[in-house]
Amino acid sequence: MALIRIEPVLEERSGRYFLEIYSPHDAGAPLVTTQPRYASAAAAENDLLAIIAAAASAPRG
C-alpha cells in the first residue's frame, strides 16, 4: 500500500517541473509542493530520490 504519492507537474508559464507530494496517497491536496526548478519530470523525481537517500544515510546523533 502506498503511503505517499509524488506527482511531477509542468508549470506552463516557466516550462519547468515541480513536485506535488501527497500524504496520505489519496489526499485531495498536496502536503508539499516544490518550486518549479526541474527541466523534466524525471529530473524532479530523481532529485527527490537523492534527497531521501541522503537523509536516510545521514548519521544519526
Element (H, E) at 12: none
Cα gap 42→50, rounded to integer Å: 12
Where do the domains of the chain lie? Answer: 5-57
Evaluate if residue 51 carries a pLDDT over 70: yes
What is the overall mean pLDDT for the chain? 93
pLDDT band per the 50, 70, 90 thresholds, residue 1 = low
Residue-wise pLDDT tens digits, 3-30: 999 999 999 999 999 999 999 999 999 9
DSSP-derived secondary structure letter, 54? H
Cell numbers 504519492 correspond to what residue?
Answer: 5
Per the model's pLDDT, the better-predicted residue between 59 and 9 turns out to be 9
Residue 50 near residue 27 (C-beta atoms within 8 A): no
The phi and psi torsions of 34 (rounded to 5 degrees) equal -85, 175
pLDDT band per the 50, 70, 90 thresholds, residue 33 = very high
